Structure 1
Amino acid sequence: MENLLKVAMAQIAPVWLNKAATIKKIEATVIEAAKNGSELIVFGEALLPGYPFWLALTGGAQWNTNVNKELHAHYVRNAIQIEGGELDGICQLAKKNSIAVYLGIMERPQNRGGHSIYASLVYISQQGEIKSVHRKLQPTYDERLTWAPGDGNGLQVHPLKQFTVGGLNCWENWMPLPRAALYGQGENLHIAVWPGSDHNTKDITRFIARESRSYVVSVSAMMSKDDFPKDTPHVERILEKAPQVLANGGSCIAGPDGEWLVEPIIGKEGLFYHTLDVNRVYEERQNFDPVGHYSRPDVTKLIVNRERQSTVDFEDD
């Protein structure tokens, strides 16, 4: 039925900072979700190849140290160059299995020189096509030591059966204007991706659902002390101060009335499923629609710059 959509939340740990091994794990997870009838699968923020946990554990703000420079270089080498085809295998699986994918990656784009990295949320359609790459607008706190700020190009929504899906990375879900940019394009299924932990998802998931009268699917990764590969640069230094659990999950789903459909899932790695009915959106929009009948564009209006930013524009003959 076109009004129903089965969603899979992939609450998994990466093979930390190993993009080849993490891609294999992602591909296996996509196949499993498709076998279970999922039409959309969502992975956490920066899952490919992992979140920069070392910054809080090794004095990440210390200037010009070998530890920080070598870990950053390792991170950059394991970031994804989409232009080089590094997501092609996942795209092919999406097409083969008619499953859409929202995937959090560390992107190393060629159009920004190929050396800086961005926390990007990639949407792959059921036809296996990359339809948007949203670079996180504002890295949070110590993320700014290794991630670059993105742009508005990825503030896009996509048709999926009778739904209109859009997504944001982690704390930019707290930014009201990017949310409004998606609402204004008809979003009724909001995807929020996180590096992990219910302290992020437990409040904002229900808030966005109630504000937008949409479904909100929050998906987080997992990470424990045991998940750090032994061949990671300076792994002993990282483990000295690492807690046993760095990301406990917290993936969850709220309905268009802001109530839980799936409460935050803590400490469990795996795939978690739920089927959404778009009719519930129409029911809840009856009394409130933030960009429709309950808005005043003659008084307040948002302007969005969706140009993909680049340092150099060439005007070749």
Structure 2
Amino acid sequence: MKDQLLTVALAQISPVWLDKKGTLNKIKNAIAEAADQKAELIVFGEALLPGYPFWISLTDGAQFDSKIQKELHAHYAQNAISIEKGDLDTVCELAAKHKMAIYLGIIERPQDRGGHSLYASLVYINEVGEIKSVHRKLQPTYEERLTWSPGDGNGLLVHPLKAFTVGGLNCWENWMPLPRAALYGQGENLHIAVWPGSDYNTKDITRFIARESRSYVISVSSLMRTEDFPSSTPHLDEILKKAPDVLGNGGSCIAGPDGEWVLEPVLNKEGLLIETLDFNHVLQERQNFDPVGHYSRPDVTQLHINRKRQTTVRFDE
């Protein structure tokens, strides 16, 4: 049956670093290219729009009251995404035009948190162009905490896509057992894991999650090279002093529900990676293990999740 098959595109691309407009143009071009290849889902890496905060570990990011850190952070905020102000409207229009679902990693400046702090968010846009979830990364990792704020459980949602049920997490969230279980418990069978760009992250956990969940797992990483730093970047000379030639080598890949590779990690190659997935493989592998079904004991262990969107103020009108 046609609904059993899903053609997916992994967009292993670099941002136009910290440039919202330039990166949006690359994203829109990738969507159009994926449409030409009949993709029904396209996935982009973590924080791709407008880019991962590589400068923190290269420029003494923990130095308090640093002019360099303040100016870079302000530049980052100026190029971050405000969904409420329509920054993703053209992407939604393309999703509807091509009848293509999209997972997109963004840096979000949400108005419901005042419009100044930044969040690493994973946005799901369905095939009719509707934003159905915005998952703000629960726990920024190590140096990320110097520029990103912690999110909440509001975006721990799954979505129907043909025969599949898709859900996703940001980077090291994929190592967190309970957020994974939150998605499994809602019927997830196609897991999206987005990363800033390295096979160091993707080569082990992609297969592990697939084997644990008996689901397909798509890991998508960005690329990042020194040539991807625009000359307009504030304090670029300082960033380049310690920057390696390659900061993110990709490593995008797909594992099947048996934990074996559908697509092994692809390194240092920019462009789209296209595969077609067969839902029936999920049912075959759930025969002997289903972590939230026949191989679970909810009478002994249960997970309780708070999906309220967190805000500092609430108004009673």
**Structure 2 length-normalised TM:** 0.99
User: Which residue is 2:150 aligned to?
Assistant: 149
**Distance apart, 1:75 and its partner CA:** 0.3
Q: Deviations over 1:124-149 (max 9, x none)?
A: 00000000000000000000000000
Report the secondary structure of 1:2's partner residue: helix
User: Which residue is 2:288 aligned to?
Assistant: 287
Report the secondary structure of 2:299's partner residue: coil
User: Which residue is 2:248 aligned to?
Assistant: 247
User: Which residue is 1:74 aligned to?
Assistant: 75
Task: After TM superposition, list the pairs within 5 Å mapping 1:80-229 onto structure 2.
Answer: 80-229=81-230
User: Which residue is 2:10 aligned to?
Assistant: 9
Q: Return the alpha-carbon distance in structure 2 between the equivalents of residues 40 and 226 of structure 1.
A: 29
Report the secondary structure of 1:252's partner residue: strand
Q: Return the alpha-carbon distance in structure 2 between the equivalents of residues 57 and 170 of structure 1.
A: 20
Q: Return the alpha-carbon distance in structure 1 between the equivalents of residues 65 and 204 of structure 2.
A: 38
User: Which residue is 2:310 aligned to?
Assistant: 309
In structure 2, stretches of 5+ residues that fail to align are none
**Distance apart, 1:71 and its partner CA:** 0.2
Q: Return the alpha-carbon distance in structure 1 between the equivalents of residues 93 and 186 of structure 2.
A: 28
**Distance apart, 1:208 and its partner CA:** 0.2
Q: Return the alpha-carbon distance in structure 2 between the equivalents of residues 228 and 22 of structure 1.
A: 12
**Distance apart, 1:199 and its partner CA:** 0.3
Deviating runs (4+, > 4 A) in structure 1?
none
- Over the aligned positions, Cα root-mean-square deviation in angstroms equals 0.3
In structure 1, stretches of 5+ residues that fail to align are none
Report the secondary structure of 1:205's partner residue: helix
- Which amino acid is the alignment partner of residue 31 of structure 1? A
Q: Return the alpha-carbon distance in structure 2 between the equivalents of residues 168 and 231 of structure 1.
A: 31
- Which amino acid is the alignment partner of residue 53 of structure 2? P
Q: Return the alpha-carbon distance in structure 2 between the equivalents of residues 167 and 81 of structure 1.
A: 21
Q: Return the alpha-carbon distance in structure 1 between the equivalents of residues 29 and 252 of structure 2.
A: 20
User: Which residue is 1:300 aligned to?
Assistant: 301
Q: Return the alpha-carbon distance in structure 2 between the equivalents of residues 286 and 61 of structure 1.
A: 50
**Distance apart, 1:274 and its partner CA:** 0.5
Q: Return the alpha-carbon distance in structure 2 between the equivalents of residues 31 and 305 of structure 1.
A: 37
Q: Deviations over 1:65-108 (max 9, x none)?
A: 00000000000110000000000000000000000000000000
Q: Return the alpha-carbon distance in structure 1 between the equivalents of residues 227 and 10 of structure 2.
A: 22
**Structure 1 length-normalised TM:** 0.99
Report the secondary structure of 1:312's partner residue: coil
Q: Return the alpha-carbon distance in structure 2 between the equivalents of residues 165 and 34 of structure 1.
A: 20
Q: Deviations over 1:229-249 (max 9, x none)?
A: 001000000001000000000
Q: Return the alpha-carbon distance in structure 1 between the equivalents of residues 262 and 30 of structure 2.
A: 22
Report the secondary structure of 2:18's partner residue: coil
Aligned length: 316
Q: Return the alpha-carbon distance in structure 2 between the equivalents of residues 304 and 315 of structure 1.
A: 25
**Distance apart, 1:266 and its partner CA:** 0.4
Q: Return the alpha-carbon distance in structure 1 between the equivalents of residues 71 and 97 of structure 2.
A: 39
Q: Return the alpha-carbon distance in structure 1 between the equivalents of residues 283 and 238 of structure 2.
A: 53
Q: Return the alpha-carbon distance in structure 1 between the equivalents of residues 122 and 233 of structure 2.
A: 25
Alignment partner of 1:52 is 2:53: yes
Alignment partner of 1:19 is 2:41: no
**Distance apart, 1:201 and its partner CA:** 0.2
- Which amino acid is the alignment partner of residue 38 of structure 1? A
